[in-house]
Amino acid sequence: MKLPASWLAIPADSDFSLYNLPFGIFSRNSDEPRVGVAIGEYIIDMSAAAQLGILSGAEVAVSVFQSPTLNALMALGRPVARRLREFLQQQLTQRHSSLHKLAAEVLVPQAEALMHLPIAIGDYTDFYSSIEHATNVGKLFRPDNPLMPNWRHLPVAYHGRASSVVVSGTPIRRPNGQILPPGAEVPVFSPSRALDYELELGFVIGKDSKLGESVSAEDAEDYIFGCVLVNDWSARDIQRWEYQPLGPFLSKNFATSISPWVVTLDALEAFRVAGPTQEPTPLPYLQTRGELNFDLELSVAIGTGTSTETIISRTNARHLYWNVRQQLAHHTITGCNLRVGDLLATGTISGPETGDDYAPNGCLLELTRGGQQPVQLADGTTRTYLEDGDEVILRGYAEREGVRVGFGEVRGRVC
């Protein structure tokens, strides 16, 4: 539905349009962190708005907006968040609204705000849902048989480390670990020499499920509050030595960056698309139908501090082989329970080769063919993997018929 114009000036290319209104946690000066909603270049201070009576019709306690995480708000359910979003849309398009009259007291410039980790994350699971990514990586090690036998039958995943999930802008320390140098038989202890990023989408759980009961694919989205961008930092040389037989551990537990704004599923509803055809047909509990992927343009840039950033990759979340309903259903099929604040990430999102100027690869391991083909940056230097001082910037947005909904950025500088 087309909305009336807002009385607030919103740049046409803003990720935070009237159709978005994502939730986050912010503070300003020495204030306590609290709930905010992004709109254009501003943040609606939901705590101040509630205390001033602007949100009286929303039937949400002021304490929920004073919380330093979104968990309390998410636990109220998606219908409550939907009503809040619709109420704010009305307030932002009516010139005589309470929000308009009290705008000076509740609108905070984003440039003056400090963003915080938006959710208290209890558990973090990272999937491996892009067939292009899995195939490209598999070809580096198994050229004749890149996909493992189970890949087309289930959404592969590993259990990540929730304690090291950080908000965009947090510096990333280069990890130390055991590395097996080429041709060596004994590992050395060293800082990683093959530090990589991974471009991903994350889904935030907003509803508890019961231990011992699985969640069906049909009901899966009832448990998802919204989405964030994810950078699952990876130390490829540590990973190569440690991953057999149990998979990633120290190579991925040191940092995962997420965007500060949680975009609701309702805001992404207009951008649904069908996913790829799945062959063979999944087992019954994984079967889904309809437009369950999202048409989200994604990009990766590297900044070196000496020149403008270089966009090195573009892809789209529509290419994901396993959709989020299937990921969640598979996650819970054993009876594993979900809790408010859990984070499920898609794994690296890559896409098919298109012949465009930008490669559709979601990490350097793919883009450089395992470090064999360096990437050229704007300052004339090249990269196979990340160097100290490099800043990785992930961006994502959806746009259709003049309506734009975006995530902002995920930034992280290697130190």
pLDDT per residue as tens, the chain (415 positions): 789 999 999 999 999 999 999 999 999 998 999 999 999 999 999 999 999 999 987 889 999 999 999 999 999 999 999 999 999 999 999 999 999 999 999 999 999 999 999 999 999 999 999 999 999 999 998 988 899 999 999 999 999 999 999 999 999 999 999 999 999 999 999 999 999 999 999 999 999 999 999 999 999 999 999 999 999 999 999 999 999 888 899 999 999 999 999 999 999 999 999 999 999 999 999 999 999 999 999 999 999 987 689 999 999 999 999 999 999 999 999 999 999 999 999 999 999 988 778 899 999 999 999 999 999 999 999 999 999 999 999 999 999 999 999 999 999 999 9
Are the CB atoms for 117 and 261 separated by under 8 Å? Answer: no
As beta bridge partners, residue 178 has: 189
Question: For the range 50-58, what are the long-range contacts, defined as Cβ-Cβ under 8 Å and sequence gap of 24 or more?
Answer: 52/98, 52/102, 52/105, 52/106, 53/98, 54/91, 54/98, 54/99, 54/102, 54/106, 55/84, 55/87, 57/87, 58/83, 58/84, 58/87
Which residue segments constitute the domains of the chain, with CATH numbers given? 23-116 (2.30.30.230), 124-413 (3.90.850.10)
Q: Compute the Cα dihedral for 38, 42, 48, 52 and give only its sign.
A: negative
* pTM, full prediction: 0.97
96 is catalytic: no
Instruction: Name the helix (H) or strand (E) containing 65.
Output: helix 62-65
H helices present in 142-269, as ranges: 236-242, 265-268
- Among 96, 100, 116, 133, which one carries the catalytic annotation? 133
